[in-house]
Amino acid sequence: MKNYVEIIKIGIFYNVFNEDCLIINSLFGYKIINNRCGFPLKNIDVVTNKLKDNHINFKYDEEYVKYKDNKYHSILKKIKSKSDIERRINTITEYLFANNEMISKVEEICKINY
């Protein structure tokens, strides 16, 4: 089982793929597009220092940084859990806004409880 962020140099950018994108997106806000997340070469020190601060194993170029208390899986699990909750909230919100009658019922319930 993979337990590190793999950072791959492609042209003038470093890229991460698949689940590694979730970690980089969570730490830096870089956009994920098609299971890929990239950042400029000049940002490698900022990215690797943040990974080090969080004790997340990573590989890039010829460097492989490992921690005995590697947090890769625990951080990934938290990110996925948060992402799942946000997805559920968005689904409910979209449903409510698509169904005006439901909004009225929710407003009515809120008035009763407060």
| Residues 22-74 pLDDT 10s | 999 999 999 999 999 999 999 999 999 999 999 999 999 999 999 999 999 99
Q: 5-72 in CATH: which number?
A: 3.40.1170.10
pTM for this one? 0.72
* Pair of tokens at residue 105: 């019922």
The Cα 34–Cα 36 span in angstroms is: 5
Q: Identify the residue whose tokens are 């990215």.
A: 47
What is the distance between the terminal CA atoms of the chain, rounded to a whole angstrom? 50
